[in-house]
């Protein structure tokens, strides 16, 4: 019965994210597969006083300063999708990735944050939380031997959007409530199926997430809140001055892929170093699975930014 339940969960989330294809490899990894891997959580550390203002830290064995991957999970910017368990849209989904990177000598800071459905989630709470969690690395670094010159943001799906935004946050206007006093600069970003621009996916995201989550996230339409849309996407802040790796799962919906490729072209034209790589025969969650073929490309992208081996 448990196996059947997880099979239904995996099928449901696949429909919600529209990653079904004819490829026999497209759904080789489901959220159930990731949640079912036996991974002990990392050290839980609060970066704020809120119940969801925490992250899980993993530090590799050995001496010396470690490069760091800040992991930002996806889930349509929401706390819960339909009948799926809350874990399917939480940091739990990135625990296998977190452990695998730590085993390769890369420390990981897997962050949780308020989302739609949580008290204070949306605008500006979601953005404030991920920004605060990222800047908190300055406090973690001395005690845990983290190299602040070798930090990479890694985001999946809606977490990819947030990872792009975190890298671009230093370009926000001085009067923005989201910038903070000194945004942490990073060496680069790896986004796995992440949409860099929110406005470009309005309408389409209803098919993906089952609701108008972009307008819910920002509190209204672009016409109602133009400043919020300008300040919430890396695409509106180019050039962001950091290296970017855009990883695209095979046979994603055309509009989603077009949004990522259009952003990459604009970033390149603006002078940013950016690379687009297709994860051949990969489903939406394969890039998170250390047991999937796509994992090798994800690791290589991360290592290329922080110089790890």
The answer to whether residue 280 sits within a structural domain is: yes
Residue 45 host element (H or E):
strand 43-46
User: What CATH number should be reported for the domain holding residue 282?
Assistant: 3.40.50.1820
Amino acid 21: pLDDT = 32
Q: What is the pLDDT of residue 309?
A: 52
Tell me whether residue 35 is in a domain. no
Residues of the chain above pLDDT 90, percent:
76
Looking at the predicted structure, is the pLDDT value of residue 50 above 80?
yes
Q: Is residue 125 part of a domain?
A: yes
Check whether 251 has a pLDDT greater than 70. Answer: no
Residue 193 has pLDDT above 60, yes or no: yes
Mean pLDDT of the chain: 89
pLDDT confidence of residue 101: 98
**pLDDT at position 11 over 70:** no
CB 107 within 8 A of CB 67: yes
Mean pLDDT over residues 90-117, rounded?
A: 97
The confidence band for 307, taking pLDDT boundaries of 50, 70 and 90, is: confident
What is residue 308's predicted lDDT score, i.e. its pLDDT? 61
How many separate domains does the chain show?
A: 1
Task: Flag whether 106 is in a domain.
Answer: yes
The yes-or-no verdict on residue 305 having pLDDT over 90 is yes
**What is the arithmetic mean of pLDDT over 262-276?**
97
What's the confidence (pLDDT) of residue 27? 53
- What pLDDT band is residue 177 in, cutting at 50, 70 and 90? confident
Look at residues 185, 295, 291, 204 and name the one whose alpha carbon lies nearest to residue 252.
Answer: 204
Residue 201 has pLDDT above 70, yes or no: yes
Taking only the tens place, the pLDDT of each residue in 104-156 is 999 999 999 999 999 999 999 999 999 999 999 999 999 999 999 999 999 99
Flag whether pLDDT at 250 surpasses 90: no
Q: Is residue 36 part of a domain?
A: no
Quick: pLDDT tens for 13-38: 443 333 333 333 345 798 999 999 98
DSSP output for 221-244: -TTT-HHHHHHS-GGGS----SEE
Domain presence at residue 88 = yes
pLDDT for the residue 6: 36
Q: Is 39 a domain residue?
A: no
pLDDT at 245 > cutoff 60: yes
Q: pLDDT band at residue 60, thresholds of 50, 70 and 90? A: very high
Which range has the worst mean pLDDT, 5-19, 60-74, 165-179? 5-19
Kindly give, in sequence order, each residue whose CB lies less than 8 Å from that of residue 273, ignoring residues fewer than 6 positions away. Answer: 243, 244
Backbone φ, ψ for residue 53 (5° rounding): -95, 75
Q: Which residue range is the domain that position 298 belongs to?
A: 2-30+44-306
- Helical H runs in the chain? 2-17, 31-36, 95-103, 125-135, 137-144, 158-168, 204-209, 213-218, 226-231, 254-270, 295-306
In a domain, 38, yes or no: no
Strand pairing partners for 155?
72, 191
**pLDDT at residue 83 in the model:** 81
What integer is the mean pLDDT of 229-233? 97
């Amino acid at each position: 019965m448990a196996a059947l339940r997880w099979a239904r969960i995996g099928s449901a989330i696949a429909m919600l994210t529209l990653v079904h294809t004819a490829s026999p490899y497209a759904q080789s990894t489901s959220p159930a597969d990731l949640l079912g891997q036996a991974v002990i959580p990392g050290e839980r550390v609060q970066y704020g006083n809120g119940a969801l203002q925490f992250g899980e830290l993993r530090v590799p064995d050995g001496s010396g300063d470690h490069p760091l991957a800040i992991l930002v999970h996806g889930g349509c910017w929401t706390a819960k999708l339909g009948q799926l368990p809350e874990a399917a849209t939480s940091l739990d989904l990135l625990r296998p990735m977190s452990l695998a990177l730590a085993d390769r000598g890369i420390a990981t800071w897997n962050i949780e944050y308020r989302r739609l459905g949580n008290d204070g989630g949306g605008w500006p709470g979601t953005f404030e939380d991920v920004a605060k969690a990222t800047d908190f690395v300055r406090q973690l670094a001395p005690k845990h031997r983290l190299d602040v010159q070798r930090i990479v943001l890694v985001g999946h799906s809606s977490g990819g959007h947030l990872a792009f935004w975190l890298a671009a946050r230093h370009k926000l206007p001085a009067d923005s409530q989201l910038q903070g006093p000194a945004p942490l600069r990073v060496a680069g970003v790896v986004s796995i199926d992440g949409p860099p621009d929110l406005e470009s996916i309005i309408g389409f995201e209803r098919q993906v997430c089952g609701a108008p989550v972009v307008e819910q996230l920002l509190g209204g339409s672009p016409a109602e809140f133009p400043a919020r849309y300008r300040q919430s996407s890396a695409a509106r802040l180019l050039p962001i001055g950091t290296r970017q790796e855009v990883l695209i799962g095979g046979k994603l919906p055309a509009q989603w892929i077009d949004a990522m490729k259009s952003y990459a072209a604009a970033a390149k034209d603006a002078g940013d170093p950016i690379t687009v790589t297709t994860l051949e025969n990969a489903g939406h969650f394969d890039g998170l699975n250390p047991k999937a073929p796509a994992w090798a490309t994800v690791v290589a992208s991360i290592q290329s930014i922080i110089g790890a081996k």
